[in-house]
Amino acid sequence: MAATSELSPSKILETPINAHDSTSEPHPTPPKSPQINEPINDVVTTEKRKRDDGDGNADEDDKPSLHPLWKTSLCSYFRKHSTCSHGDTCRYAHSEEELRQRPDNTWDPTSERGKKMLKSVTGEKIAVKDGVMMTELVDEVDGDGGGEEGFASNQALSKCLVHLPMKWTSENLRTFLNEQGIPFKHAKTRKGMSIGFVTFEDEEQMKSSAKDLQGKQIGNKTLEVADVNPRSFEKKSNSNVPSSGTLGDETNDDNLVIDGSESKKKSSREVVTPLAHLSYADQLEQKKYSLMQILKKLPRNARKACPNGVSVPEWILKSREIGGLPCNLEGIIESPIVNGYRNKCEFSIGNSLEGKVTVGFSLGNFREGVTAVEEPVDCPNISTIACKYAAIFQEFLQHTELPVWNRFKNCGFWRQLTVREGRSNGNVVDAETFDGIAEVMLIVQVSTASFDNAQVDAEFKRLAQAFVTGATSHCPTLPLTALIVQDHQGISNVAPSDAPLHSLPITAGDPERDVNISAADVRIHDYISNLRFSISPTSFFQVNTLAAEKLYSLAGDWACLGPDTLLFDICCGTGAIGLTLAHRVGMVIGIEMNAAAVSDAHKNAENNGIKNCRFVCSKAEQVIGSLLKEYLDVPKEQVDVPSICGSVSDIPEDSACPDPGNGENASPCSENNNLEIENEVPKESTPENGNTPVQQFKNVVAIVDPPRAGLHPTVIKALRTHTRLRRLVYISCNPESLVANAIELCTPSPTEMERGNKDNRGWRRMSSAGLARHRAKSMPISEAFKPVKAMAVDLFPHTPHCELVMLLER
């Protein structure tokens, strides 16, 4: 649960989070009944004994004086059972009406008012009062032929309705208005969006109708009415157009702002780096507090998922002693560089609020109707060199003959600019300059469908010349290593990994350069822990290189590595984690689905002389099971123990790496971890008798670094059911998905498997934690993990995000 006010996290932690937490104060002792507890002869037994408040004249309104938090939290017992044994003496509120505001001007986070405040503080939802900024003119409706004449020229008599049902057509909107008795001239919706437009006959009709529509309930949504405000440049262009006319077809569809508040426009700095206004120390405190609230979901949901007849794990019972956390959150590691740390920036291409073609960042969510793009001005996480190239590209787009991508019509040519940077070895970059950035790769995403090839080729030549000229004319000269064009035809700018790539020749300064170089061979390079990594256009690499070194070092320390360790690097990308830890283990098995990234990983291992690594190109859920069997299973004739799930043989507990109980970073690893161990690497051949390879590693560890969605259920099942895997280090850029995956990994198995799918209906509406509880019930019988400790690493200063590392052990 995120913070519920704008107070600093340190102040928020002083107030109870849950009304019945172990950290909150107990109920005040109710007055004793004289008929039960004390025989008092002088009191008539039919009368209740008056409570002694210290003031005989105190009335009901003086109850808050009993305690500063009187009635400031909802009674959880009352909500569950519709009654409370304490009656009127209960210090907790039994309804929303009875609930009082806390002394720090916050509300109980579980109350409706607290939830609304939570959304406004964490920015989970864009408030309507902040305005809906749309630069594309909405002159097309949902495909029902409802493009009413006169809407564009009568914007002063139009209103925007926000929070309409997403599936509504224009006909649904007109029917709704007629049912409500709202007079109107034109009404239409936009397909795939929760907004609609209504035009009225006159101003009086518009005002009265807007008043009637404001706050109307449509299902579980509350209707909001916003103004449709033409911008200044549009007013000038419309001044010469007759009021009865419509805008011509020559407009660039970027001439309208739908906005309910003229004064509350967000800047790119506020959108991209919402914590930039705080000091770095305060940012870390806020992130730590947010992580604690998310981690508290793990023991709560794991307790609910525990099957009947199975004792609750000890780590869940002990969670109350540490504030409801599943394990100790040992802090958050600072980023070595706070400003200009991103080595990869993706700039959108669109129109600004003034209608100018702009390269920068979107000011909001497209689903909320926000399409405006603003230049990356004063964004502290963006490097100077990335801003320079964005400005060069923006200047080029002012004179191009090809249109920019229109997200409403899903057509256009120029879509996105990506700037990838590679730093030289050992240089810590000063945020004020771009010294230390040795290589730069530019990736321009376009959509070439329906455009003439000759015209496209001519524009690409002009584009390459513009970047070269802009780089060389700058003082000092901007590094430029490669220019790639990505052809993507989809609706979203998120292109698949196999989208076509083309390399554009850059001849300036290097006349011998091969103009026919393949885009698949283009690489830039970066360094982590003195290892040189090749980075292809689409491969994953941590955006904060210096902080990634600390992240990987922490993961290696917690993994308890040694020469007898087999390390599985799941979702390995270019192999950064496995390669940086290869000198500390016997062998590394990396799994990655991106073919270009796997190719980079092989090259990285070869370039750095690392020979104890193997990389597999596939989805982890498709090969993890077979790889675990290949390297972990031993022939049945060698180990005569019961098998779990038909494939995994159990082993003694002491064969795994000892628990570092006496020290956080204790490890059995010897001091000679840097010894040459390539002769000890097992061969990948299979014995002639067909049996699986003989066990060669005593310690088996997995480090997973999945995308934001988390691990696939099949991967979780494979990790959970192979009991030779005793230790798991989970690195997550999304703590919510970590909690969901940990529920499945750490929930005890039932004594007997239930057959049939029960309560499967409504899974689409489940939260990630609820869905994880549901999956945990069908987990094969196996030994569960337990969370041991967690720590965050701040890879993304000035933003609410950070990487969370959790150690799980059996």
Measured between alpha carbons, how far is residue 227 from residues 33, 165, 260, 523 in Å?
62, 19, 5, 49
Q: Confirm if 205 and 117 have CB atoms less than 8 A apart.
A: no
Residue 759 annotated as binding site: no
Measured between alpha carbons, how far is residue 567 from residues 289, 500, 542, 670 in Å?
32, 34, 20, 17
Residue 542 annotated as binding site: yes
Measured between alpha carbons, how far is residue 77 from residues 19, 83, 90, 320, 435 in Å?
10, 7, 11, 18, 61
Helices within 493-650 (DSSP H only): 545-558, 576-581, 595-607, 620-632
712 class by beta-carbon count within 10 Å (0-12 exposed, 13-18 middle, 19+ buried): middle
Q: Confirm if 703 and 568 have CB atoms less than 8 A apart.
A: yes
Positive/negative CA dihedral, 447, 453, 458, 461: positive
Phi, psi torsion values for 316, nearest 5 degrees: -75, -40
738 class by beta-carbon count within 10 Å (0-12 exposed, 13-18 middle, 19+ buried): buried
Q: Confirm if 259 and 229 have CB atoms less than 8 A apart.
A: yes
Who's near 667: CB < 8 A, 6+ residues apart? 557, 560, 561, 562, 657, 660
Pairing of strands 786-793, 803-809: antiparallel
Quick one: which of 271, 234, 268, 261 has its CA closest to 160? 261
Pairing of strands 344-351, 357-362: antiparallel
Could you give the CA distance from residue 512 to residue 522 in angstroms, rounded to a whole number?
16
> In residues, how long is the chain?
810
> Residue 41, CB half-sphere, CA atoms under 13 Å: how many?
0
Q: What share of the chain is helix, strand, coil (3-state, %, to 5)?
A: 30, 15, 55
Who's near 530: CB < 8 A, 6+ residues apart? 425, 426
Structure tokens, 166: 């997403």
Who's near 412: CB < 8 A, 6+ residues apart? 402, 403, 404, 405, 406, 447
Could you give the CA distance from residue 799 to residue 273 in angstroms, rounded to a whole number?
5
Residue 638 annotated as binding site: no
Q: Crossing angle for the helix pair 735-746 and 713-721, nearest 10 degrees?
A: 40
664 forms beta bridges with none
- What is the 3-state secondary structure of 87-103? HHHCCCECCCCCCCCCC
Active site amino acids: 733
Q: Crossing angle for the helix pair 453-473 and 384-397, nearest 10 degrees?
A: 140
Could you give the CA distance from residue 545 to residue 423 in angstroms, rounded to a whole number?
9
Measured between alpha carbons, how far is residue 119 from residues 2, 3, 275 in Å?
9, 9, 16
Quick one: which of 719, 725, 700 has its CA closest to 565? 700
Structure tokens, 153: 């020229």
Which residues fall in the annotated binding site for S-adenosyl-L-methionine?
A: 542, 592, 705
Binding residues, by number, are 542, 592, 705
